[in-house]
Amino acid sequence: MNNADLADKLTGDHGVSKADARKLVDGVFAAIADAAASGEEISLSGFGKFKVKASPAREGRNPSTGETIKIAASKKLTFAPAKAVKDKLNA
């Protein structure tokens, strides 16, 4: 499922126009991205939590040459599904 599929689902289920549904979907994802960029935890009741996780700088190896390289510190967005979602997945 992609953004357009999600907008189509909203159009069918709630009777909004396709353009309005696409704006809503894009708005939700933009709000999640903005909150994550500012370091906030995003908790969607019944769906799950998005959290920002910091990965420290570390040393790694180039697999083709075996040379040691430095891997920069970065932030990653993780998702932990709610119990209801886990139950649906394992039903």
CATH number at residue 4: 4.10.520.10
In a domain, 24, yes or no: yes
pLDDT of amino acid 77:
95
Range of the domain at 85: 50-91
Asked if residue 19 is part of any domain, the answer here is yes
Per-residue confidence (pLDDT) for residue 33, from 0 to 100: 95
Cα separation, 80 vs 89, whole angstroms: 13
Q: Is there a single domain that holds both residue 67 and residue 35?
A: no
Which pLDDT value is given to residue 2? 94
Domain count, the chain: 2
Q: One-letter amino acid identity for 9? A: K
Whether 80 is covered by a domain: the verdict is yes
- pLDDT given at position 55: 94
* CA pair distance 91, 89, nearest whole angstrom: 6
pLDDT digits (tens, 9 = 90+) for 15-53: 899 999 999 999 999 999 999 999 999 999 999 999 999
Q: Is 21 exposed, middle or buried (0-12, 13-18, 19+ CB in 10 A)?
A: buried
Band the pLDDT of 63: cuts 50, 70, 90. very high
pLDDT score, position 91: 86
Domain annotation covers residue 45: no
Residue 34 φ/ψ, nearest 5 degrees: -65, -45
What rounded mean pLDDT belongs to the chain? 94
The answer to whether the predicted template modeling score (pTM) of the entire model surpasses 0.85 is: no
